A and B are shown apart, each in its own frame.
Chain A
């Protein structure tokens, strides 16, 4: 996994993706609180996670 922080696509803050992250994992931005999603692992790419939809849940 990348040792370098990734730039948050919302606020341009630094997001650290930890060792063991998996595709699709949701990571909050420590600066702006946006929910980000791991899109690629090599190299690590993140995007804004989809908003909760009406039929989401348990």
Chain B
């Protein structure tokens, strides 16, 4: 009997459509759950209508909803991909940096500060230009490169006055003078299955912001290094029970420093891949679905 998968989503992006089609192609027993409809009992599964399943595959677009949904479901023993621990780490840039540091992986020099004054001191210690990022958020939103003290003071004041409390956690990073491109690697169950170069005239090289994707072959050139570093980064953010480690489905963003060293920038727990299937020739949704079904069938003890 095939395992039953609960597919939790909110907005259905191109990626969710591709994943749903891949599940259908496999004849999977799938039940869709809209996170906007959820009313979760914290006392357990007998008291709410969340469908019985062997594994939850989460594709929610909202970090907050995802995290609390997964915490609730894991508490009742439901295995989740990705796990709540992975989402908690990847959804917060500061926690991601701590995990990368703990694993000894190369990443840009980063500081945390909580007031405009301390933020300015952190920026000046790192040197201009520097980058201020929100700890929560995606798609390059509210990421600011500051080239001098005037710009830094303006951005820091905006964060202090206009932002939520998360915006007032100042994540300040050295600016990496990358060669007009960076890398995204797709890791499924610990294996790097594909990678792309992302080229942009803009210093933010995000395909959601119009960057152009090109294949980065994993078997040649810098590919083997990319594959190895991405797999290690994925493992670094994978906490939780031993069986769950290495099971995550993640996109790792990497950048080349001025001297050619590869640095890990961030790890994404709900990866977008629409521009990378034809580019790489890898059927990313099929690989993800295969992994989810295998994990569910194996009954991995992914939950606490």
The chain A residues found within 8 Å of chain B, CB to CB, are 22-26, 37-38, 49-50, 53-58
Chain B residues in 8 Å Cβ range of A53: 62
B123 CB, min distance to chain A CBs, angstroms: 23
The answer for the CA separation of A58 and B16 in the assembled complex, in Å, is 12
Chain B residues in 8 Å Cβ range of A25: 12, 17
The answer to whether B64 touches A55 (Cβ under 8 A) is yes
Does B13 sit at the interface, judged by CB under 8 A? yes
A55 CB, min distance to chain B CBs, angstroms: 4
The answer to whether A50 touches B11 (Cβ under 8 A) is yes
Chain B residues in 8 Å Cβ range of A50: 11
The answer to whether A55 touches B272 (Cβ under 8 A) is no
The answer to whether B61 touches A22 (Cβ under 8 A) is no
The answer for the CA separation of A58 and B269 in the assembled complex, in Å, is 6
B188 CB, min distance to chain A CBs, angstroms: 15
A-B contacts counted at CB < 8 A amount to: 55
User: Which of B11, B20, B32, B137 has the most chain A CB atoms inside 10 A of its CB?
Assistant: B11
The chain B residues found within 8 Å of chain A, CB to CB, are 9-13, 16-17, 20, 32, 34, 61-64, 91, 136-139, 141, 164, 166, 251, 268-272
The answer to whether A24 touches B62 (Cβ under 8 A) is no
Output the nearest chain A residue to B60 by Cβ-Cβ distance: A56
The answer to whether A58 touches B12 (Cβ under 8 A) is no
The answer for the CA separation of A22 and B17 in the assembled complex, in Å, is 8
Output the nearest chain B residue to A53 by Cβ-Cβ distance: B62
B184 CB, min distance to chain A CBs, angstroms: 10
B119 CB, min distance to chain A CBs, angstroms: 19
The answer to whether A56 touches B138 (Cβ under 8 A) is yes
Chain A residues in 8 Å Cβ range of B251: 58
B54 CB, min distance to chain A CBs, angstroms: 22
The answer to whether A23 touches B270 (Cβ under 8 A) is no
The answer for the CA separation of A54 and B64 in the assembled complex, in Å, is 10
Contact of A54 among B10, B34, B164, B269 (CB under 8 A): B164
The answer for the CA separation of A46 and B14 in the assembled complex, in Å, is 17
The answer to whether B62 touches A26 (Cβ under 8 A) is no
The answer for the CA separation of A26 and B137 in the assembled complex, in Å, is 21
A40 CB, min distance to chain B CBs, angstroms: 12
Contact of A57 among B10, B20, B138, B166 (CB under 8 A): B138
Chain A residues in 8 Å Cβ range of B137: 54-55, 57
Contact of B34 among A24, A56, A58 (CB under 8 A): A24
The answer to whether B32 touches A54 (Cβ under 8 A) is no
The answer to whether B139 touches A54 (Cβ under 8 A) is no
- 6 smallest A-B Cβ distances: which pairs? A57-B138, A58-B268, A24-B12, A55-B63, A25-B12, A58-B138
| Contact A24-B10, Cβ < 8 Å, known A56-B62, A56-B138, A58-B251 | yes
The answer to whether B32 touches A23 (Cβ under 8 A) is yes
Chain B residues in 8 Å Cβ range of A38: 12
The answer to whether B138 touches A26 (Cβ under 8 A) is no
B11 CB, min distance to chain A CBs, angstroms: 6
The answer for the CA separation of A58 and B267 in the assembled complex, in Å, is 9
Enumerate 27 A-B pairs (CB-CB under 8 Å) in ascending A order: A22-B12, A23-B32, A24-B9, A24-B10, A24-B12, A24-B16, A24-B34, A25-B12, A26-B11, A53-B62, A54-B137, A54-B141, A54-B164, A55-B64, A55-B91, A55-B137, A56-B61, A56-B62, A56-B63, A57-B63, A57-B137, A57-B139, A58-B139, A58-B251, A58-B270, A58-B271, A58-B272
